[in-house]
Structure 1
Amino acid sequence: MRIVVDAMGGDFAPVEIVRGAADACRDLDTDILLVGREAQVKEELDKLSSYPLSRIEISDAEDVVTMDDSPSAILRGKRNSSIHKGLRHVKDGSGDAFFSAGNTGAVMAVAKMVLKVLEGIDRPAIGAVLPTIKGHTVLLDAGANVECKPLHYLQFAIMGSAYAHIALGIDDPKTGLLSIGEEEMKGSDVIKVVNQLLRESTGVVNFHGNVEGKDMFRGTTDVIVCDGFSGNVALKVSESAGWFVSKMIKEEITKSVPAKIGALFAKGALMRVKERADYTEYGGAPLLGVGGVCIIGHGSSNHNAVKNGIRVAKELAENNLNGLIEEKVKESFEVLEVDKGGSFLDNILGKFKKKSNQGS
């Protein structure tokens, strides 16, 4: 297994990226292909003499994509960037999966152009794993699609279920639709249509019904589907809330001697809580629906986040995530009894409208 890593992507590149990749090579028994400016990458590797450097190769890419670069400008130019070249390595088979902590919009745009989308998928989506009181849940879309049509949500549910099956080990993941209330009549006109559509799709997805923001960390469902705007806001608020709670606990502990003593006794428990809520332990989120495993890490990823992002990429590649998604999409045609020719969305939308008209 060989994981391609964007060495120039992220706030702390290439230092933390190279170190994280070397950690992954040592601890995860995988080969690494670092893509970036060769001289800079080699300089960082030379500082890590204790690592199995023989399993790490460098692919030179002179162009660097910054966080301020627009996706359209990157598609037109910077064709020799670490993102472009790294994804081409996955496309031509010289790499099994790709990880980048760089510009999210750029990774999405280039991945769609280089890897293409899977058959039956119109909109790739970012799937983020969140900790819950019961374990974990997958939230998607977490930022790839600001505006979505009702049937895009069905594709998100299919992809999210496949990802939860592999990443969380759940045989029949339960899917919820993010809304402002649990009742079917709650939410925007689009959400009401999506609710009906997902109920019609029994056998394709295990639909629970609407879930609210409060359900995200209660583990009400294994998968939560939403548009990319709502998902990204929810994700960023969650990260901020985790930071705030951690900061508040530290401040309270340092206010008095009894609090400091109590913290010593509770140190083990506090560390375990921190680990469960630490985004670096989750590594990154997959861009689901493209023709290759592509993991997008947080822009501020440190070496631990990079290592875990590579771990996620390796696990998804080994377990053939895309094969499972394609299989689920094909099953949906059969279960929903639609014509396999033409657009997936057009076919299912036509069937859904036909049923609605018959019921009126």
Structure 2
Amino acid sequence: MASSTLISLDAMGGDHGPSVVVGGVKAYFSRYGGDGVRFLLHGDEAAIRAEMARCGLSDDVCQVRHTDKVVAMDEKPAQAMRRGKGSSLWNAIEAVKAGEAQAAVSAGNTGALMAISKLILRMAVDGLERPAIVASWPTKRGFTAVLDVGANIGSDARQLVEFAIMGEAFQSAVYGVERPTVGLLNVGSEDMKGHEEVREAHAVLRTDAVPVNYTGFVEGHDIAAGTVDVVVTDGFTGNIALKTAEGTARFISGLLKEALTSGPLAKLGALIAMPALKKMARRIDPSSVNGGPLLGLNGIVVKSHGGATAEGYGNAIRVAVELARSDYLTKVSANFARLAAAMDEPAPAVMGETQK
């Protein structure tokens, strides 16, 4: 079909391999319909086809490319780049480079995925050093995009501005926000707060150099409040914030479960409140926000949690499909060119949406 979208999947990545990946395809179709979406699965053909039979998926929607080579979850990125050619992860990314697939999804080794993706696809714009990982953060208003959450430990002012460009385009493509608001994470809202790189990025974003809807500094409590649609920070801070939030959520969930099972009256109250409790659980369920794109690549690659359920993997597929069907790459490239011109630099070489 000329209008179909082909998503390339590393079927062997993650803690569970084909059972979750193929199950994720089924979950995607069950929840989103999947009109015009097809899949290319890389890995052990026998294991993949066994799961396809269990899930009732046919060759009409799932092509299988066999390989018995797998990048281990604990393999170092440098080793994966040297020895990973021909693996399920490598082949999934190669399909995007060749223009065969519009996006790739993997639950495999994060460091290896990032290194191999950069090696094969390269960065979308000359001068970008590494991709940024974006997380969809549940808030009072819906979801806020937070980046970077671990790809880059330290970031200078220019990188922070680039994150703002990529995050704004992501939020528009995946969540349909027409003109997302963007904030820069800091220790306070005053102009003099923060280190030099944050203040410098703040100064650039306040000008017309970059066409993003920048509102200024935001603080940690603003993330969950949904004060802005996109929160920009370096990977060190973003990763700590993300893992702190995940740990806090697990702690509160544990306390709530303990309180609601502490006695007969508490159990009765929990039974009465069950519809509301289930609604809250769905809101904070990690599966509902699984799927972190590696932004900045010359192609679309989405990282799923290694321990994701089939439903969670299905959501990572949804993110890949939304990005593949959007003008994300074109918009980011155009805004990077505008940034370079505004800062009196030669415009960087902007690649095509895929390398063919």
What secondary structure is seen at the aligned counterpart in 1 of 2:79? helix
Corresponding position of 1:270: 277
What secondary structure is seen at the aligned counterpart in 2 of 1:72? helix
CA distance in 2, matches of 1:82, 1:121: 29
CA distance in 2, matches of 1:341, 1:191: 24
What TM-score do you get using the length of structure 1 for normalisation? 0.90
Corresponding position of 1:188: 195
Q: Paired residue for 1:294, among 291, 301, 305?
A: 301
Corresponding position of 1:78: 84
The CA RMSD measured in Å over matched residues stands at 1.9
Query: Which letter does structure 1 place at the counterpart of 2:195?
Result: S
CA distance in 2, matches of 1:184, 1:58: 54
The alignment status of 1:135 with 2:111, answered yes or no, reads: no
Q: Deviations over 1:301-327 (max 9, x none)?
A: 110011111111111101132112112
The alignment status of 1:158 with 2:165, answered yes or no, reads: yes
CA distance in 2, matches of 1:323, 1:224: 22
State the 1:328 CA deviation.
2.1
Query: Which letter does structure 2 place at the counterpart of 1:15?
Result: S
Count residues with an aligned counterpart. 342
Q: Paired residue for 1:257, among 255, 258, 264?
A: 264
Q: Paired residue for 1:285, among 279, 292, 314?
A: 292
What TM-score do you get using the length of structure 2 for normalisation? 0.91
The alignment status of 1:92 with 2:98, answered yes or no, reads: yes
What secondary structure is seen at the aligned counterpart in 2 of 1:217? helix
CA 1:283–1:52 in 2, change beyond 3 Å: closer, same or farther? farther
The alignment status of 1:13 with 2:8, answered yes or no, reads: no
Q: Paired residue for 1:105, among 107, 111, 133?
A: 111
Q: Deviations over 1:14-58 (max 9, x none)?
A: 21112112332453232111111222222322322x334531111
Query: Which letter does structure 2 place at the counterpart of 1:70?
Result: K
CA 1:34–1:337 in 2, change beyond 3 Å: closer, same or farther? same
What secondary structure is seen at the aligned counterpart in 2 of 1:220? coil
Given that residues 124 and 290 in structure 1 are in contact (C-alpha distance below 8 angstroms), is that contact kept between their aligned partners in structure 2?
yes
Moved more, 204-213 or 94-103: 204-213
Q: Determine what percentage of the aligned residue pairs are the same residue.
A: 36
Q: Which runs of 5+ in 2 are unaligned?
A: 351-356
CA 1:20–1:138 in 2, change beyond 3 Å: closer, same or farther? same
CA distance in 2, matches of 1:342, 1:78: 30
Corresponding position of 1:326: 333
Query: Which letter does structure 2 place at the counterpart of 1:166?
Result: A
What secondary structure is seen at the aligned counterpart in 2 of 1:46? helix
State the 1:113 CA deviation.
1.0
CA distance in 2, matches of 1:66, 1:200: 46
State the 1:156 CA deviation.
0.3
CA 1:58–1:198 in 2, change beyond 3 Å: closer, same or farther? same
Residues 60-71 of structure 1 aligned to structure 2 (within 5 Å)? 60-71=66-77
